[in-house]
Amino acid sequence: MMSRALPLDDTKAWRLYQDNGQELLALAAAERESASQNRVELCAIINAKSARCSEDCVFCAQSAHYRTDIIQSSLRDVKGILAYARMLEGYGVKRLSLVTSGKGVSDGELEGFLAIYRILKEHTRLSLCASHGIITLEQARRLKASGVTRYHHNLETGEGYFPNVCTTHTYQERLAAIHTALEAGLEICCGGLIGLGESVRDRIELALALRNLGVESIPLNVLMPVKGTPLENNKVVSASELLKTVALFRCLNPTARIRFAGGRPSFDIQTQMRSLEYGFDALMIGDYLTRKGMDIEADINNLKNNGWYVLE
């Protein structure tokens, strides 16, 4: 099925969202089918460094600015990481990323992570991703040399709303980190979080920024409010809002891989499967950074039972 006058501009995208959403959903479904048919790519993460982060991102359980019940953890041993990676491979997971809390990592910390990437590169077929905050060009180049092919760093929201999300660093610093990774020859995985209190126009601004950057992989997270953070009383977005939002991102970024990442357990299986129809063509499976995710085997079975196939 061919694309139908996509990608949209911001004005039409906003109008379609504000209408009953049916035209937007139909456009997104056609584009999703054209791009990926009934295939879904799987990825996973490993929490490589947890808490306490110097940044004040209002949604984050790991920020040292807030009193949350997050427990600081250390990186599991290399044998454990390799065993986990091989288990993920067996389920058809294509990509794996180490993720660290903090604005960035020191060269000393990075050295330990590079050793893990080299082992994963040698002993698995997984495509390796990295998420270590704001990095230098030299650090990015070392990641690439170790076998990492893609760097993850979210913009989180539209530029206009970003000061409501974080004040300890700027949106421009996040953009600079993305350009640094690109300069080092890495692909980019970059998305954001919905449910922060942002408007539809803020979401459109984020989607267009990602399109202008040429981002190939867009993870969308849904806020799961954390007690102790400024957003602890925010309501989780509705199923209808989720579906229209992923449809919006699909129509504004028709060639990107769009991933349903954090927040997926907040929705029932029917909604999760419908979200695949309207835009998501990738899922992050397994545990999140500070919360349990969905059971991996159950996830795979749900996909199969609903006519979706894991992308080899």
Interval 52-60 mean pLDDT: 91
Amino acid at 122: E
Query: What is the overall mean pLDDT for the chain?
Result: 93
CA distance 211 to 200: 17
User: What tokens were used for 219?
Assistant: 């993870």
When pLDDT is cut at 50, 70 and 90, the band that residue 5 belongs to is very low
Give, rounded to a whole angstrom, the gap between the first and last alpha carbons of the chain: 22
pTM above 0.85, yes or no: yes
Q: List, in sequence order, every beta strand (DSSP E) within 144-256.
A: 148-152, 187-189, 192-194, 217-222
When pLDDT is cut at 50, 70 and 90, the band that residue 170 belongs to is very high
Q: Does residue 2 carry a pLDDT above 60?
A: no
Q: How do the domains of the chain map onto residue ranges?
A: 10-302
Q: Does residue 3 carry a pLDDT above 60?
A: no
Neighbours of 182 (CB within 10 A): 15
pLDDT at 9: 82
Listed residue (262, 234, 233, 226) closest to 67, CA to CA: 226
Confirm if 236 and 198 have CB atoms less than 8 A apart.
Answer: no
The DSSP code sequence of 89-128 is HHTT--EEEEEE-SS---HHHHHHHHHHHHHHHHH--PEE
pLDDT at 7: 66
Confirm if 32 and 277 have CB atoms less than 8 A apart.
Answer: yes
CATH 3.20.20.70 fits domain 10-302: yes
Q: For 187-239, write each residue's pLDDT tens digit.
A: 999 999 999 999 999 999 999 999 999 999 999 999 999 999 999 999 999 99
pLDDT at 293: 85
Interval 73-98 mean pLDDT: 90
HSE-CB at 193 with a 13 A cutoff on CA atoms is 23
Q: For 87-119, write each residue's pLDDT tens digit.
A: 999 999 999 999 998 899 999 999 999 999 999
Residue found under tokens 């309501």: 235
When pLDDT is cut at 50, 70 and 90, the band that residue 51 belongs to is low
User: What tokens were used for 185?
Assistant: 């020859």
Residue found under tokens 């209190």: 197
Interval 70-98 mean pLDDT: 88
When pLDDT is cut at 50, 70 and 90, the band that residue 49 belongs to is confident
Confirm if 246 and 280 have CB atoms less than 8 A apart.
Answer: yes
